[in-house]
Structure 1
């Protein structure tokens, strides 16, 4: 299933809190209503996702996650894979400026490679550039609707903005993919009180 197109607009690339919340709310409503249907597609990725959902222990789930992430990290181009590796290495050592440079080169040259957008969203989140992170997560999910890391990222953005109810909804959706993920479980605990009375 194709997620409906959604275009994010910013003022000077630094959206106001109100503008950003409106942007992410519209985006989330697209994601929340579109993603569950994608899980029924027949593919090798879905088979791995089924194993992830049914993993008996967190350790078993982590092994499947690594398998899925390895598959998602293959762009089909050695040079693009190198840019992803350099971007991730820069992120790991805390050089966020360099990470953005490598990952922007990657998204420019391989715009259909979801993992490039997701990894850059992680960097933007670290930089507290939440509007740009949301835009990259949108692109990630348009290319890979089953990207549970991107869904969890939406939850993290909402939680950071103080919207516990929407954060809980995003974490709850991420949980349908990876119910034993510690970050998702802890996110649900932190935001559960905000979700009382909210129709999910």
Structure 2
């Protein structure tokens, strides 16, 4: 009876640990689901606020150390130190491979280094983790335009606008590509 109770205690402890550590992730996903649903229906001023909340949620890995690496990578991109950005973001990805925002920002650093294959790979990984990440989809459109694929770029911009209809940068980029393709302004 003692061994059975010991095993049962271990199983219960394991289940409690799984549930405890899963709840924050489930809460974030539920919050993100709600925010994305609101974003697609919001008017422009409210959409900007909702988009900022989504971006904030996406920048949280659940680990203070990974969040710090993300901030350092972002700061390095802003300072133009792309090599340092790649190092910080690679470290975050190594330790938190499901952190979509780290993949996204590293794709930005690779793009600015004109390492387009690596940027495309990171975009693919970020979208596999969070397919609604409108900034990643926008980045995909920018990359495709740079690679001389305006039809695909316009498709990416349209997809981003379906998620965030009031994203000003995406709207401008889509209009630019449409003009390049000889179409009317959208």
Normalising by structure 2, we get a TM-score of: 0.78
Stretches of 4+ aligned residues off by more than 6 angstroms: none
CA shift at 1:64, angstroms?
1.1
2-structure distance, mates of 1:103, 1:147: 18
Q: Aligned-pair RMSD on alpha carbons?
A: 1.5
CA shift at 1:43, angstroms?
2.9
**Whose helix proportion is higher, 1 or 2?**
2
Partner of 2:32: 45
Q: Which of 166, 176, 179 is matched with 1:180 structurally? A: 166
- Structure 2 unaligned runs (5+)? 1-28
Partner of 2:112: 126
SS of the counterpart of 2:104?
A: helix
Q: 1:70 aligned to 2:30?
A: no
Paired positions, count: 154
Q: Which of 55, 58, 80 is matched with 2:66 structurally? A: 80
Q: Which of 43, 47, 50 is matched with 1:56 structurally? A: 43
CA shift at 1:195, angstroms?
7.8
CA shift at 1:60, angstroms?
2.3
Deviations 1:105-140 (A, max 9, x none): 111111111111011011111111111010001000
Deviations 1:58-109 (A, max 9, x none): x322211110011111111111111011111111111111111101111111
CA shift at 1:44, angstroms?
2.2
SS of the counterpart of 1:146?
A: coil
Deviations 1:140-177 (A, max 9, x none): 01111111111111100111112111110110011101
2-structure distance, mates of 1:195, 1:72: 36
SS of the counterpart of 1:43?
A: helix
Normalising by structure 1, we get a TM-score of: 0.73
8 A Cα contact 1:120 1:136, kept in partner: yes
SS of the counterpart of 1:74?
A: coil
